[in-house]
Structure 1
Amino acid sequence: MPASSLVEDILEPELPICDPHHHLWDYPAGRYLLPELLIDLESGHNIESTVFVECGAFYRAAGPEELRFIGETEFVNGQAAMAASGRYGKLLACEGIVSRADLTAGAAVGGVLDAHIRAGNGRFRGIRHAAGWDASPEVRNSHTNPPQHLYAVPSFRDGLRELAKRRLSFEAWQYHPQLPDLVALARAVPEAEIVLNHVGGPLGIGPYAGRRDEIFAGWARDIKLLASCPNVVVKLGGLGMAICGFDFHKRDVLPGSLELSNAWRPYLETCIEAFGPKRAMLESNFPVDGVSCTYATLWNAFKRVTKGASAAEKAALYRDTARRFYRLDG
């Protein structure tokens, strides 16, 4: 990963932030555990708390297949307990935990969800069953190996209802051509609390490269339609991923926050206008978005986009929506 030589002053350093989307892992290609996370969280912005979202980290190596996902909750709960000890300061890393379960198991997934709840020690908040699928071999499908229309599978919808029964949330992660599927899912299971990850996954690689204006128009139409579903909120971020096609990750020097804000502004502002600040939360998606920017620069870019927002709107976008959605205050 190239390292940015652009050192910026931190904008609005006192603004309280709950980062509702980051990962932890230890893979041969790289490690991002609590020490690495804390380096980013302490880079100048006022990060008070975070939410971990599943990434295939530390599943159990043995036992029933459907219960191996519980290992990720057990691992993250340990990292959260370390942070909560106060040894590393007041920051509550992984205050909320989102893990994985196979929702296509339908009603049978209930036992897995209950095991996650026990393992989370009060921190477990929901499930992400990634649905990213595309016909092009140039677009990598999600690690769950989903079918094209996962959200339409009847047993998946039954599994989602099990989440709703337990006041657990669902993280929707798919690519922009699949947004109509999410609209249908949200309408079919209105009792489910759903958060759209990464502004809906606008693709800009493979067959989608060089078509940004055309794709943006269709994406914006579907985002506005999705916003008409009152049980859906949106995460504002993820645009630093290589699949979005901005190609910042190919540079020898990473861009500054002004360039990032100019590139990301149309997507962020469209979502904020459609959903409103009380149904939108800014996210880092680190370390994934770290291919395009530093953690400090990312939040500076967001602050440039929201410069004209009121204090109440900023409070919602940066902290309050996330804390309410994930029930971090009880």
Structure 2
Amino acid sequence: MTGVDHGPGIVDAHHHVWDLSVRDQDWITGPELAPLRRDFTLADLAPEARAAGVTATVLVQTITAAEETPEFLAVAAHSDLVAGVVGWTDLTAPDVADTLAGLRAVPGGEHLVGMRHQVQGEPDPRWLVLPEALRGLTAIAGAGLVYDLVVRPHQLAAAIDAAQRLPGLTFVLDHLGKPPIASGELAPWAERIRRLAALPNTVCKLSGMVTEADWNSWTVDDLRPYADTVLDAFGPGRLMFGSDWPVCRLAATYAEVVAAAREMTAGLSPAERHDVFTGTAVRTYGLTLTAPPDPPQDTPPQDTPCA
């Protein structure tokens, strides 16, 4: 599907870049992740994104290094593709508010739209509601930013608790909370998703699904029950598309990820698809696009993509 015009105005609300000569990505270990052990730059992403009809993106942090966020903001300052950056800072530090103000002052600081931390790697499943973490989340809300949640299903209870305690902060759930797609299990993930979605200050990304499925044999039918769950729970107005490039490349091409998302949302109205592929990301992150986006155009049904 590369090279096909899918219609203007898509926002890819979740992707990464890295340069291993600048900083190691210490999470890329073992033979399964070996395809990711190389540089991935905007120059690599841009042609694939443009071919899929993507006109703006959100660049998301990869590691817990304070230097990465100002680097990403500089990337955004010189890019006509990156409209927003979700960065990282030590959420538990007492000077979070000062750090956020400093990031706003660096070149590209106006592109800072949110923060996140790899909570998925924290051994304490209640990490998000530790007093020092809640203090940091309060500072993020005070700065007018959103908070991206990268958690696993067993950590969703703490995410629900944090969102209840901080109604003034918008929480964006990355990758549907990483459901066990490969095993086909829905419970207890689905029930926790519905509880999170019941809170009005929560949003979900339709992202990261192919790498939670069987990398070598997934089909859209494998993904659909999970997509249907978040569509029903959050609604299109609180759901946004993200590619999770280049991590998605472990299981699918960029074009296949976009095609799968289109197939899973084919039953929505044009206005609802516009929310998923553009409107929700623009509203949630406060993105400024270079041109008013049009709703994504319908495309003929595609063969079910697989890695």
Deviations 1:130-178 (A, max 9, x none): 211xxxxxxxxx3xx5533211201110110111111111011110111
Q: Distance in 1 between matches of 2:109 and 2:153?
A: 35
- Post-superposition shift, 1:181? 0.9
Match of 1:37 in 2: 45
Q: Distance in 1 between matches of 2:123 and 2:275?
A: 33
- Post-superposition shift, 1:118? 1.4
Match for residue 63 of structure 2 among 56, 78, 85: 56
Q: Distance in 2 between matches of 1:55 and 1:287?
A: 11
**How many correspondences in the alignment?**
273
**1:230 equivalenced with 2:237 (yes/no):** no
Deviations 1:286-320 (A, max 9, x none): 11111000000110111111111101001000000
Say if 1:271 and 1:15 are closer, same or farther in 2 by CA, change over 3 A: farther
- Post-superposition shift, 1:129? 1.4
Amino acid at match of 1:316: D
Match for residue 15 of structure 2 among 8, 18, 22: 22
Match of 1:99 in 2: 87
Match of 1:65 in 2: none
Secondary structure, aligned partner of 2:56: strand
Report the TM-score, using the length of structure 2 for normalisation.
0.83
Q: Distance in 1 between matches of 2:280 and 2:109?
A: 23
RMSD value, Cα:
2.0
**1:190 equivalenced with 2:167 (yes/no):** yes
Q: Where does structure 1 lack aligned partners over 5 or more consecutive residues? A: 1-6, 60-68, 85-91, 133-141
Q: How many percent of aligned residue pairs carry the same amino acid?
A: 31
Q: Distance in 2 between matches of 1:281 and 1:298?
A: 13
Instruction: Give the 5 Å matches for 1:3-14.
Output: 10=4, 13-14=6-7
Q: Where does structure 2 lack aligned partners over 5 or more consecutive residues? A: 25-36, 290-307
Match of 1:115 in 2: 102
Q: Distance in 1 between matches of 2:40 and 2:153?
A: 28
Q: Distance in 1 between matches of 2:38 and 2:267?
A: 38
Q: Distance in 2 between matches of 1:118 and 1:260?
A: 45
Match of 2:302 in 1: none
- Give yes or no for contact 1:175–1:203 (8 Å, CA) kept in 2: no
Q: Distance in 2 between matches of 1:275 and 1:74?
A: 32
- Give yes or no for contact 1:130–1:146 (8 Å, CA) kept in 2: no
Q: Distance in 1 between matches of 2:18 and 2:79?
A: 16
Q: Distance in 2 between matches of 1:9 and 1:272?
A: 29
Report the TM-score, using the length of structure 1 for normalisation.
0.78
Q: Distance in 2 between matches of 1:280 and 1:99?
A: 20
Higher mean C-alpha deviation, range 193-202 or range 116-125: 116-125
Secondary structure, aligned partner of 2:125: coil
Q: Distance in 2 between matches of 1:76 and 1:131?
A: 21
- Post-superposition shift, 1:9? 8.1
- Post-superposition shift, 1:16? 2.5
Match of 2:230 in 1: 271
